[in-house]
Amino acid sequence: MSKADSKGMWGGRFSEATDDFVAAFTASEHYDRRLYRQDIRGSQAHARMLARCGVLSEADATAIIDGLAAIAAEIEAGEFPWDPALEDVHMNIEARLTARIGDAGKRLHTGRSRNDQIATDVRLWLREAIDEATHLLRHFQAGLVNLAEREADTVMPGFTHLQVAQPVSFGHHMLAWYEMLVRDEARLADARVRVNQSPLGSAALAGTTFAIDREQTCAELGFEAPTRNSLDAVSDRDFAIEFVSAAALTMTHLSRMAEELVLWASPLTGFIELPDRFCTGSSIMPQKKNPDVAELVRGKSARVHGALNTLLTLMKGQPLAYNRDNQEDKEPLFDAADALHDSLRAFGDMVPALSVNRERTRQAARAGFATATDLADYLVRKGVPFRDAHAIVGEAVAYGVQHGEDLSDLSLETLQGFSEHIASDVYAVLTVDGSMAARDHLGGTAPAQVHQQVAAARARLAGD
Active site residue 109: no
Written as one string, the DSSP assignment of 140-185 is HHHHHHHHHHHTTT-EEEEEETTEEEEEEEHHHHHHHHHHHHHHHH
Contact 58, 51 (CB under 8 A): yes
For 193-211, give one letter per residue: b (16+ CB within 10 A) or e. Answer: eebbbbbbbbbbbebbeee
Is-catalytic flag, 282? Answer: yes
Distance CA(121)–CA(158), nearest Å, equals: 47
Q: Contact, 354 vs 177, CB < 8 A?
A: no
Which amino acid, residue 394?
A: G
Indicate which residue of 6, 266, 282, 355 is catalytic. 282
Q: Which helix (H) or strand (E) holds 156?
A: strand 155-160
Residue type, 451: H
Which is catalytic among the residues 2, 161, 411, 424? 161
> What is the rounded CA–CA span in Å between residue 216 and residue 133?
28
Count the helices and strands in the chain (H runs, E runs). Answer: 21, 6
Residue 463's contacts (CB-CB under 8 Å, 6 or more residues apart) are: none
Tell how strand 155-160 and strand 355-356 pair up.
unpaired
Q: Which residues are catalytic?
A: 161, 282
